[in-house]
Every structure is written in C-alpha cells, then in structure tokens.
Structure 1
Amino acid sequence: MTERKRYIGPAARFLEDFTVGEQIVTQGRTMTQADGLFWSMYSGDMNPMHVDYDYAATHGLFGGAFPPGLATIAIASGLMERLGLSAGTGLAIIEQTIRYKAPVLFGDTIRLELTVSEIRPHAVKPQGKVTFDYQIVRGEAEVVIEGEWRWLFASRAAVAG
C-alpha cells in the first residue's frame, strides 16, 4: 500500500506559526431561516422555538423562532475553516467550552474572533495544543457566545523529510 501524501493548504499554519496574543478575525455570515431548518433536520433538534413559527411568536422569548445555539457554533466553526488555518495541519479539536451571552436571531450577521491564549508543544510527538479564546460577535461588537477552543496542530517536524 502506498502512503498518501499529506495535503497542506496554502493558508495552513503549523503549531510554530501561532503566537500567544495573536488575534484572528473571520468574515461575517448572516444566520438564515434555512440554516435553522437544515440544522434542525440534520440534528433532530425540533424544539418548537426553532421550527414552529406560530408557537415561538406566541410563547418565545424573542418574538419568534430563532436558530439553535449549536447551529451558531457550527457556523462559527465553518467560518474558521474558511480561513484555511487547519487545512492539513489541524489534527483535532480536543476541547471546547461554550458560554451563551445573548441570542442570535435569524437575520443577524456573526463573525468569529479568536485570540491565541496558549501554545503547548508535545514533549515527544510532532504536534501540540493551541488554545484559542473565542468570541462570536453580532454586528460591530456584541459578544453573543464566548469560550475556549483547544486544537491539536501538527508541527513542522511532522512533514519534515
């Protein structure tokens, strides 16, 4: 069996390419009703606050249906993926915390703001942990979700030789 070549994307970063304190910001993405419907169908999350517009308008906290919180997290993850930072070098997401601060509603535009808070090379393996403090921001500055995201990234030694 032949060994497959490792694909490294043109914007990919290795462990050594990150700097503590570095800030990374994605482009924006507007949350649509289709996003909410696709997420609910895919995940099975049929909470009436997300899929029953009449019920949510009458009984909801925000005057109508709104996207599931985890759908917002997933879209933010996709925004990071679009940056290409982990294309061939991001080995795994190994931990994530989520703190919901404010609702995201259909029609809101969000972006992901990351700050590198810790870099820990593995003692033996050609890889290490990068911890990002993250904020999902609505509009210009309102933080709606925040937390920490710990990734495992390959080091340059993983592709040497």
Structure 2
Amino acid sequence: MHPTTAAFDALTIGQRFRSAGRTLTPTDLSFSCMLSGDWHPIHADVEYCRAETGGERLLHGSFGIMLAMGMATMLPMFAERVIGATALREWRFGKPLRVGDTVHIDVIVHDKRITSDGARAIVERRLILRNQRDDVIQEGTIGTMIQLGTQDESRSTDRT
C-alpha cells in the first residue's frame, strides 16, 4: 500500500491538526496590496488608520483565506499528492488580521471519500485561522482532492 493511501485510510472524521505559527509582517501587507490592487486607506494609510483602527493597518480578508489554505496544505501530510481544491464553503470573517499577529491554523477532518475511479480521494476539512490570543480570525470548509497510490497504481486501477 502506498504511503498516501495509508495516510488517507488512517484519517478519522473529527481528527484535529494544528500548524506551526507564522507572524504577519509589513511585507505581507504590501504584497497583499500589490497582488490585489486594493490600496484602500485601511490597508495603506497609517494616518487614516489612527482615526479608524487605533493606528494599525489591516491585512486584506482575502489574505487570510490564502494563509489558511497555504498553512493547511501540509495538514494532514498530503502536500506532494494534492491535485487541487474542490470547494471553499461557508467562509466567515471573525476578526481583522493585523501586522504583528502570529497566526496558526486548526484543521479538523470533516469528511473523506474515495472518488469513483478509486485513484483519488476528497478530504473535506474545517479550517480555523487563529491569532496569538486564540481568537478565531476566519474559518470555513475546504475540499481537497488528493492522488492515492502511485501513478502506476492509478493507471492499473483505471484499467480494471
């Protein structure tokens, strides 16, 4: 049995994983502004933010989605076998992301199933992005398709 298949079989509904932390930097905020093209004063103007947020510029909510999905890639350990995301549902924005926050992701296995061809599987996971105070910043459910077995095993499954 291929290690990815064994890892998939070992997953249980409700199983939890937690990532390492990552501290958000001014560079993260700049990249987020550049990538999105969103230079709203809440992200880019310290003077504006002094009146609105106590002086802190806020990262884009969409940056939180990117963080959560990226940090969850290795949880559980399927990164080399990920084919792609299948869905992003029920995403909720709880609190703002701030430069200096140290965030981590909690991953809860919500569901799992093998596709009809038997060569791939879908793992549904609940992602919870938390800050250093354990506040829920964002959360939602993502489906991820993974390759089971080796390419040769997948091809032999397709022929049967």
TM-score (normalizing by structure 1) = 0.81
Matched, 1:136 2:109: no
Select 1:81's aligned residue among 73, 78, 93. Answer: 73
Gaps of 5+ in 1: 1-7
TM-score (normalizing by structure 2) = 0.81
Equivalent residues of 1:136, 1:143 under 8 A apart:
yes
Rounded to whole Å, the distance in 1 between the matches of 2:29 and 2:126 is 26
Report the CA distance between 1:106 and its aligned residue.
Answer: 1.2
Equivalent residues of 2:115, 2:121 under 8 A apart:
yes
Rounded to whole Å, the distance in 2 between the matches of 1:57 and 1:93 is 38
* Offset from partner CA, 1:77-104 (integer Å, 9 cap, x none): 3322355823321111111132011112
Identity of aligned residues (%): 23
Equivalent residues of 2:72, 2:127 under 8 A apart:
no
Q: Classify the secondary structure of the residue corresponding to 2:96.
A: coil
Rounded to whole Å, the distance in 2 between the matches of 1:99 and 1:158 is 37
Matched, 1:111 2:104: yes
Rounded to whole Å, the distance in 1 between the matches of 2:87 and 2:81 is 17
Equivalent residues of 1:15, 1:154 under 8 A apart:
no
Report the CA distance between 1:19 and its aligned residue.
Answer: 2.1
Within a 5 Å distance, the mapping from 1:1-161 to structure 2 comes to: 15-58=8-51, 60-61=52-53, 63-81=55-73, 85-97=77-89, 98-156=91-149, 158-160=151-153
Q: Classify the secondary structure of the residue corresponding to 1:39.
A: helix
Task: Tell me which protein shows more helix as a share of its residues.
Answer: 2
Equivalent residues of 1:16, 1:155 under 8 A apart:
no
Rounded to whole Å, the distance in 2 between the matches of 1:72 and 1:25 is 16
Aligned length: 152
Report the CA distance between 1:49 and its aligned residue.
Answer: 0.6
Q: Classify the secondary structure of the residue corresponding to 1:88.
A: helix
